[in-house]
Copies of this chain bind each other. A is one copy, B any other.
Amino acid sequence: MERHFDHDLNELRQRLLTMASHAETAVNRAIEALTTRNYDLALQVKQDDAVLDRCEVEIDELAIKLLAKAPLATDLRLVTAAMKISQNLERVGDEAAKIAKRARDLSQEPPVKIQVDLPRMAGLALAMLKGALDAFVNRDSAAARALIPQDIEVDALNKQINRELTQYMMSDRDSIPRCLNLMVATRSLERIADHATNVAEDVVYLCEAQDIRHQGINQGESGQRNVPVP
């Protein structure tokens, strides 16, 4: 029984890692499709998203099976953290699909004549996601904690890009639909960084048995904004 339980726990961990790698691929593809205006690549992200949806349902099923076997408190934390991490990865897939949809639309239109720092924002969000998953693999609570403040930088970049796009829309009304597409894509990147933050918080909970959510950092409601940020 015990050995069987450990086997299932390993299976859960393994599935989560596979799911994480699918999530990274989806985001990478969506961003590349957006920056290189590649319609076909953007189309592939739909499949990535469908794979992530299936992963979430399967991981939940396995997790519920494991919970029923009355594990130790530490196993319990691993199982519930796995359910939460998989939900976040599934939502990363949703955001990747949204970026890819905008990439498809934008690839059929003339490029917008404004350079926004989307590659940097994408790099930061992806690095956060990768860092959170590495922290999970290594059970590295300190690394997970160090990631959380990075979300502030992503939020700031999102605001900056939205300010620039709003200004540009006001100077060139024909660009409005395309700029709105770009705003949606940057908002999805910002959400991906939020999900990475959630995963990092789950890793801290897993390692330290301490819930550090909602502690004032990263609440997104700070300060004044000059322009609306969708």
Q: With A170-B176, A180-B228 in contact, do A214 and B57 touch (Cβ < 8 Å)?
A: yes
Which one of A73, A102, A214 has the highest number of Cβ atoms from chain B below 10 Å of its Cβ?
A214
CB within 8 Å of B: which of A68-94? 68, 70, 73, 76-77, 80, 83-84, 87
* Chain B nearest CB, measured from A165 CB (Å): 10
The secondary structure that dominates the A interface is helix
Q: With A57-B211, A214-B53, A228-B102 in contact, do A221 and B97 touch (Cβ < 8 Å)?
A: yes
Picked from B76, B77, B227, the residue with its CB within 8 Å of the CB of A177 is B227
Q: How many residues of A contact B (CB 8 A)?
A: 45
Beta-carbon contact of B64 and A80 below 8 Å: yes
Q: Within 8 Å of chain B (Cβ to Cβ): is A46?
A: yes
Q: Within 8 Å of chain B (Cβ to Cβ): is A116?
A: no
Picked from B97, B169, B230, the residue with its CB within 8 Å of the CB of A230 is B230
Tell me how many chains of this kind the complex includes: 2
CB within 8 Å of B: which of A13-61? 46, 49-50, 53-54, 56-57, 60-61
Q: Within 8 Å of chain B (Cβ to Cβ): is A184?
A: yes
Distance A170 CA – B49 CA, assembled complex (angstroms):
33
* Chain B nearest CB, measured from A20 CB (Å): 18
A56: chain B residues within 8 A (beta carbon): 213-214
Specify the chain B residue showing the minimal Cβ separation from A187. Answer: B230
* Chain B nearest CB, measured from A115 CB (Å): 20
Specify the chain B residue showing the minimal Cβ separation from A173. Answer: B170
Specify the chain B residue showing the minimal Cβ separation from A229. Answer: B184
Q: Within 8 Å of chain B (Cβ to Cβ): is A150?
A: no
Chain A contact residues, CB within 8 Å of chain B: 46, 49-50, 53-54, 56-57, 60-61, 64, 67-68, 70, 73, 76-77, 80, 83-84, 87, 97, 101-102, 105, 166, 169-170, 173, 176-178, 180-181, 183-184, 187, 211, 213-214, 221, 225, 227-230
Q: Which are the 10 A-B pairs with shortest beta-carbon distances?
A: A70-B70, A230-B230, A180-B228, A53-B214, A181-B228, A184-B230, A170-B173, A57-B211, A170-B176, A177-B227
